Amino acid sequence: YYASGGKQSDLVAHIELASDYDGLAVVWGIKNTKATVEECAEHCKRHMPNTVQGPFSKLPCNAFAFCPDDVCFEPDAHHHTKGDCWLKFTEGPVAPEATAPGP
């Protein structure tokens, strides 16, 4: 995207409430809390590769998941709570695989 002249400011976030998408976590949601889903979406849009530590630090954010409730389900072993904002990378951002589809 960037190599072909794409700009960070041109990115658009699409919000789908009560949904979660499969992907590699470029920023873990635990301890990355945001007040609103819109704030989480903006964090995804602003995320730049190579600015965080971790095994997927070179990847951009092209999907995200936000926990709006006191406790949220995730298909993993962790406890997810209100405000958790997961920044993810998926190979199919146009049609990401839902792990917890919305209503």
pLDDT tens for residues 18-41?
778 788 999 988 889 999 999 999
The segments of the chain whose pLDDT lies below 70 read: 74-77, 93-103
> Other CB atoms closer than 10 Å to residue 63's CB: what's the count?
23
pLDDT at 5: 82
Quick one: pLDDT at residue 93? Answer: 67
Exposed/middle/buried for residue 52 (C-beta within 10 Å: 0-12, 13-18, 19+):
middle
- Close Cβ partners of 51 (under 8 Å, ≥ 6 residues apart): 57
What is the predicted pLDDT for the residue at 20? 80
Q: What is the pLDDT of residue 74?
A: 67
Q: Which residue type is seen at 15?
A: I
Is residue 45 within 8 A of residue 8, CB to CB? The reply is: yes
Using an 8 Å Cβ cutoff, are 88 and 21 in contact? yes
Strands (E), the chain: 20-21, 24-27, 63-66, 71-72, 80-81, 85-89, 98-100
